[in-house]
């Protein structure tokens, strides 16, 4: 257990600083986008828009998606570094710990970095709301004031509910999708290293499925009561796919197919 903990610390030390930079950039640019979505004219209709509309139109959600891809890219770069130069992958595979510990250490670190990104985005939303509400009140000379706009935004916004769900069904759906995406990217890298290219085709199909589910999220289809059963089925499929990715990934590592 101590060796596993040390391995997590080592992997996290390689990811922490770059992830922190990505999170910091995300906070700064999210607030810039939110402020730029409000003009300096008191006749601008955007002064009377709800915060969730300002958030959606500012491109902040797209920026979060870009930051998410940056975290995944950073993870993959760190993974492939083991094959460059000194080829430390051989050292990894000869460590006196179970092979699955190597897999879960990297996956846990990736999840931690994603939680850092979610936290930074939440912080940027709180800061951005204060900045936007202050700017709106100043430009409109106190005529347009946001009251409870942030609280209501988390309830009404499709984008915010996708990232920060407030119901047990939303939490289950978001977690299942995120786990599937993370394990899918990791499995894709392992398939490429082990030359199991058929696995890449399977991952493409799964990602198309996830893209379709996210579209339903943003269109609020799956929050309708009559669709609850279909959401449970979607979550079950996602979790089963994640289990398959984890199982196949550990098998590839145990067989030393990735060396």
Domain count, the chain: 2
110 and 154 belong to one structural domain: yes
Residues 62-89: tens digit of each pLDDT: 999 999 999 999 999 888 887 765 555 5
The enclosing H or E element of 136 equals helix 99-139
117 and 215 belong to one structural domain: no
Domain boundary among 105, 131, 164: 164
Instruction: Yes or no: say if 47 and 136 are a contact pair by the CB < 8 Å rule.
Output: yes
The pLDDT value recorded for residue 159 is: 82
Q: Is the pLDDT of residue 16 over 90?
A: yes
**Where in the sequence is the domain holding 233, given as residue range(s)?**
166-259
Of 246 and 133, the one with more pLDDT? 246
175 and 133 belong to one structural domain: no
Q: Is the pLDDT of residue 228 over 90?
A: no
144 and 250 belong to one structural domain: no
34 and 136 belong to one structural domain: yes
119 and 216 belong to one structural domain: no
64 and 101 belong to one structural domain: yes
- What CA–CA distances, in Å, run from 5 to 49, 229, 250? 48, 39, 19
Residues 140-190: tens digit of each pLDDT: 666 666 666 778 888 888 888 888 888 887 788 888 889 999 999 988 888
Which of 4-8, 132-136, 241-245, 250-254 has the highest mean predicted lDDT (pLDDT)? 241-245
CA dihedral 229, 230, 236, 242 (to 10 degrees): -160
Domain boundary among 107, 141, 164: 164
The pLDDT value recorded for residue 221 is: 45
User: Cα separation of 21 and 15, whole Å?
Assistant: 10
**Confidence (pTM):** 0.84
Q: Is the pLDDT of residue 43 over 70?
A: no
22 and 148 belong to one structural domain: yes
Instruction: Yes or no: say if 68 and 114 are a contact pair by the CB < 8 Å rule.
Output: yes
If DSSP codes are grouped into helix, strand and coil, which group holds residue 82? coil
Domain boundary among 103, 133, 164: 164
């Amino acid at each position: 257990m101590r060796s596993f903990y040390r391995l997590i610390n080592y992997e996290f030390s390689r990811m922490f600083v770059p992830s922190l930079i990505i999170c910091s950039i995300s906070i700064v640019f999210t607030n810039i986008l939110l402020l730029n979505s409000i003009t300096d004219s008191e006749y601008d209709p955007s002064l009377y828009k709800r915060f969730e509309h300002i958030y959606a139109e500012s491109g902040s959600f797209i920026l979060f998606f870009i930051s998410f891809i940056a975290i995944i890219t950073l993870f993959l770069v760190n993974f492939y570094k083991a094959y460059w130069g000194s080829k430390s992958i051989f050292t990894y595979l000869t460590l006196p710990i179970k092979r699955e510990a190597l897999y879960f250490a990297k996956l846990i670190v990736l999840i931690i970095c994603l939680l850092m990104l979610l936290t930074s985005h939440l912080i940027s939303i709180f800061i951005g709301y204060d900045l936007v509400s202050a700017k709106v009140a100043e430009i409109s000379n106190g005529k347009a004031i946001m009251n409870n706009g942030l609280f209501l935004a988390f309830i009404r916004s499709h984008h915010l509910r996708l990232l920060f769900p407030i119901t047990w069904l939303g939490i289950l759906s978001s977690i299942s999708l995120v786990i599937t995406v993370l394990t899918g990217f990791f499995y894709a890298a392992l398939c490429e290293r082990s030359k199991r290219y058929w696995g890449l085709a399977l991952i493409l199909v799964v990602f198309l499925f996830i893209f379709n589910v996210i579209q339903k999220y943003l269109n609020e289809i799956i929050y309708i009561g009559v669709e609850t059963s279909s959401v449970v089925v979607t979550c079950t499929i996602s979790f089963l796919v994640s289990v398959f990715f984890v199982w196949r990934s550990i098998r590839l590592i145990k067989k030393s197919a990735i060396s």
